């Protein structure tokens, strides 16, 4: 119980990401079907995204989009003059960097998943199956013939 | 193989969980990732405090994405474009013998199918313009509110996929043909790269937008803000066309006919 209170609860985001990542890793290594391997890869990616986003969280902080009360052009023109008194408090806004990194990672992840699905589709066209062992058997058989 | 996988997963998982104790607590504003090392420079704190003065963009995420880390985003967009090309190269089959899709009547599937088609068709007819308008808003307003090229591009691509699912792929291709989406994908990359090259032509570094104020007639800070909108539009073009290309090629095994 003590272990739960001191180690698990303050770090629960890391526990969830490790568990999710291991589910994905297990699917990628242990599963026989290529599509299931890809599902594992997606779960793995999602775990990494969760890890990054949870790193950027600050308790009580706002989204990293400060409201701009002053007019846009006015703010730009007066940027030099009002410098000191108007500095934002960095602890009041969530860390933007993990969000930026994951934003591109999500879309790139979708695009690469598309490539992976395209490759498995053309494997299915050639071998008639998506089970890894059956594909390996067919490759072995065809090399013995040739 | 299953046993090996289980051993690998348990070993890796326990090593990672062993390391968890050394991580900062959840939501700690003073953690190294959020505040840098003690007394040192922190890039994420710099982004929060200086973005308004550097770029006049309220959305810090967009400012980091399109300006501070412009190289990263440029090549991420290129990766997406290359992924689209790879799918095209792997799956697309030319079928010169196939009938022109414009000549074929749209497929009917009996009376019951027609009833479903009316409901789905009407719903999509009402929804799709709203989705597309919102997607354009997300792109155009991405540096003021949550949004940007990637998100808006995915939404716009999804609206075309919705057309293809609700009626058939031919209907969607009539609006967004293969020639068009390939061209739009290239145009997106060219817009982004063009902004970079324009900065180079004006004797600055690649993607250093501040110098574009000479062409735009605004302050250098506002030139950064406007250029960010420009590159976001480029990103949105590429993402839209690649999302639709992935769906169109995967759902028809590269034949681009008849869809699901």
For B201-244, write each residue's pLDDT tens digit. Answer: 998 889 888 888 888 888 888 889 999 999 999 999 999 999 99
Q: Which domains does chain A have, with CATH numbers?
A: 2-61+94-145 (1.10.287.3510)
* Average pLDDT of the residues in A64-88: 58
Q: In a 3-state reduction of DSSP, which class is residue B30?
A: coil
Closest alpha carbon to B195 in B173, B212, B213, B175: B212
Closest alpha carbon to A117 in B182, B170, B249: B249
Closest alpha carbon to B226 in B137, B143, B135, B151: B143
For A27-69, write each residue's pLDDT tens digit. Answer: 999 999 999 999 999 999 999 999 999 998 888 888 888 876 5
Question: For chain A, what's the residue count?
Answer: 146
Nearest to A72 among B6, B9, B56 (CB): B56
Question: Which are the contacts of B52, defined by CB distance < 8 A and separation ≥ 6?
Answer: A66, A68, A75, A79, A86, A88, B58
Tokens matching residue A102: 């994951």
- Region for B147 from its dihedrals, namely left if φ exceeds 0, alpha if ψ lies in -120 to 50, beta otherwise: left
**Sign of torsion, CA A104 A109 A115 A118?**
negative
Tokens matching residue A48: 């990494």
Calpha distance B199→A110 (Å, rounded): 31
Backbone angles phi, psi at B34, to 5 degrees: -95, -30
Whether B148 and B62 have beta carbons less than 8 Å apart is answered as yes
Closest alpha carbon to A120 in A37, A44, A41: A37
Exposed e or buried b for every residue in B61-94, given b needs 16+ CB within 10 A? bbbbbbbbbbeebbebbebbbbbbbbbbeebbee
Query: C-alpha angle with apex A138: A146 to A124, nearest 5 degrees?
Result: 120
**Mean pLDDT lowest among B44-48, B100-104, B146-150, B253-257:** B100-104
Residue B236 is predicted with a pLDDT of 95
CB–CB of B21 and A11 under 8 A?
yes
Residue B55 is predicted with a pLDDT of 86
CB–CB of A66 and B52 under 8 A?
yes
CB–CB of A66 and B58 under 8 A?
yes
- B contact test, residue of A97, A99, A132 with most B CBs within 10 A: A97
State ipTM: 0.82
* Average pLDDT of the residues in B62-88: 92
Nearest CA in chain A to B6: A26
* Average pLDDT of the residues in B28-42: 84
* pLDDT band, residue B104 (cuts 50/70/90): very low
CB–CB of A104 and B150 under 8 A?
yes
Whether B9 and A25 have beta carbons less than 8 Å apart is answered as yes
Calpha distance A43→A87 (Å, rounded): 40
Calpha distance B56→B144 (Å, rounded): 10
């Amino acid at each position: 119980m003590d272990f739960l209170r001191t180690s698990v609860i303050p770090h629960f985001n890391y526990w969830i990401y490790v568990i999710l990542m291991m589910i994905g890793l297990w699917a990628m290594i242990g599963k026989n079907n290529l599509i299931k391997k890809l599902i594992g890869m997606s779960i793995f990616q999602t775990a990494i995204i969760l890890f990054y986003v949870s790193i950027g969280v600050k308790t009580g902080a706002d989204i990293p989009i400060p409201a701009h009360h002053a007019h846009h052009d006015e703010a730009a023109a007066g940027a030099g003059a009002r410098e000191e008194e108007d500095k934002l408090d960095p602890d009041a806004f969530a860390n933007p960097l993990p969000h930026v990194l994951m934003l591109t990672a999500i879309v790139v992840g979708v695009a690469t998943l598309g490539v992976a699905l395209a490759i498995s589709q053309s494997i299915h066209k050639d071998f008639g199956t998506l089970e890894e062992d059956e594909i390996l058997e067919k490759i072995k058989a065809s090399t013995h013939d040739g | 193989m299953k046993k090996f996988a289980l051993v690998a997963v348990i070993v890796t998982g326990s090593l990672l969980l062993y390391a968890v104790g050394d991580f900062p607590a959840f939501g700690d504003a003073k953690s190294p990732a959020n505040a840098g090392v003690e007394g040192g420079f922190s890039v994420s704190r710099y982004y929060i405090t200086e973005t308004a003065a550097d770029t006049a963009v309220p959305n810090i995420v967009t400012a980091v994405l399109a300006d501070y880390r412009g190289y990263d985003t440029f090549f991420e967009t290129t990766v997406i474009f290359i992924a689209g090309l790879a799918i095209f190269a792997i799956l697309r089959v030319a079928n010169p013998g196939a009938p022109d899709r414009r000549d074929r009547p749209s497929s009917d599937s009996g009376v019951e199918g027609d009833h479903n088609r009316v409901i789905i068709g009407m719903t999509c007819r009402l929804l799709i313009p709203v989705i597309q308008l919102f997607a354009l808003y997300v792109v155009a307003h991405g540096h003021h509110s949550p949004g940007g090229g990637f998100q808006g591009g995915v939404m716009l691509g999804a609206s075309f996929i919705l057309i293809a699912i609700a009626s058939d792929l031919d209907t969607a291709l009539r609006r967004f043909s293969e020639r068009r989406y390939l061209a739009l994908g290239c145009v997106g990359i060219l817009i982004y790269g063009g902004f970079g090259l324009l900065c180079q032509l004006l004797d600055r570094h690649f993607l250093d937008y501040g110098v574009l104020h000479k062409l735009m007639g605004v302050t250098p800070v506002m030139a950064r803000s406007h250029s960010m909108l420009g590159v976001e539009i480029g990103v949105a073009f590429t993402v839209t066309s690649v999302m639709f290309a992935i769906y169109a090629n995967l759902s028809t095994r590269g034949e681009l006919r008849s869809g699901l």
